Amino acid sequence: MNADDSEDAETAQPASQTVSRAMQILRLVACGQEHGVRLTDIVNISGLNRPTARRILKTLLVEQAVEQDPLTRRYLIGNELTLLGLARRKRFPLLSAAPTCLGHLAQSIGDTAFLSIRHRLDSICIARQTGHHPIQVLSIDVGARRPLGAGVSGVAILSCLSQDDLRQIIVANAKRLAQSSLTPEQLMDRVQLAKERGYAYAQNGVMSGTSAVAVPVVNAAGQAQAALTITAMSNRLDTSRLSYVVEQMKEQAEQLSRHADINRN
């Protein structure tokens, strides 16, 4: 190894670490959506010290990767990232099939349907379609990012993983899941129940008086790449109607899976 190679090796690790930390912060900021995220929350969840987090945020502000609300001082995702994302609109084959499948569910069931994908340790809502019932439960917005397991979509996705992968994700997300008052043991129980049922069900949803159910969207290799979710008033997802709703959802999950596999090949 010559002197130049040695110098590159010495500088590569700090540089890559900075990029990794910046991406970690961006993912946390994205969780705040339009509400934003406080510096204190970023420090507590990321484990970074306050000066390091502040320094990285200052750079991201200059690059317009994040914005800061002048009144609340909260950080939000900036225009630069939104514009960069437009360069790969066809990156997700599931997204092109989402309107048809979600539209079918919303029409046949009458309640709001969601499509969420797995990205690393998170479940991200990428599409939503309201139904025709007078009361619609809009529990999350498109773009909502939650740690896997914090909602029924994440539980459905986790139910398709191996025990080793499941444990690794739960450990990695433990601090974020604790903010939802969810322990690793509780999540393991929910995932096991979803595995046995073939779907994840929450009788008590995000909003009072609502319920939610989700089924995984599995690719040809048997890997869960997404989840379909229905949220509704609790009386519309009781035992008398739940089996019909799940059957409809599984049919559309198969349609999504086939579409994604065809477009990937």
- Per mean pLDDT, which range of 59-68, 87-96, 112-121, 179-188 is the poorest? 87-96
- Output the pTM of the full model: 0.76
- Sketch out the chain's domains with CATH numbers: 17-86 (1.10.10.10), 88-263 (3.30.450.40)
Q: Among residues 85, 137, 90, 88, which one has the least CA distance to residue 110? A: 137
Q: What is the pLDDT of residues 108-137, one digit of tens each?
A: 999 999 999 998 899 999 999 999 999 999
Tokens of 104: 């079918």
**Per-residue pLDDT at 90:** 66
Average pLDDT over residues 22-26: 93
- When pLDDT is cut at 50, 70 and 90, the band that residue 264 belongs to is low
pLDDT(265) > 70: no
- When pLDDT is cut at 50, 70 and 90, the band that residue 147 belongs to is very high
Q: What percent of the chain has pLDDT over 70?
A: 91
Q: Are 234 and 211 in contact (CB under 8 A)?
A: yes
Q: Which residue has the higher pLDDT, 4 or 27?
A: 27
Q: In this structure, which amino acid lies at residue 41?
A: D
- When pLDDT is cut at 50, 70 and 90, the band that residue 143 belongs to is confident
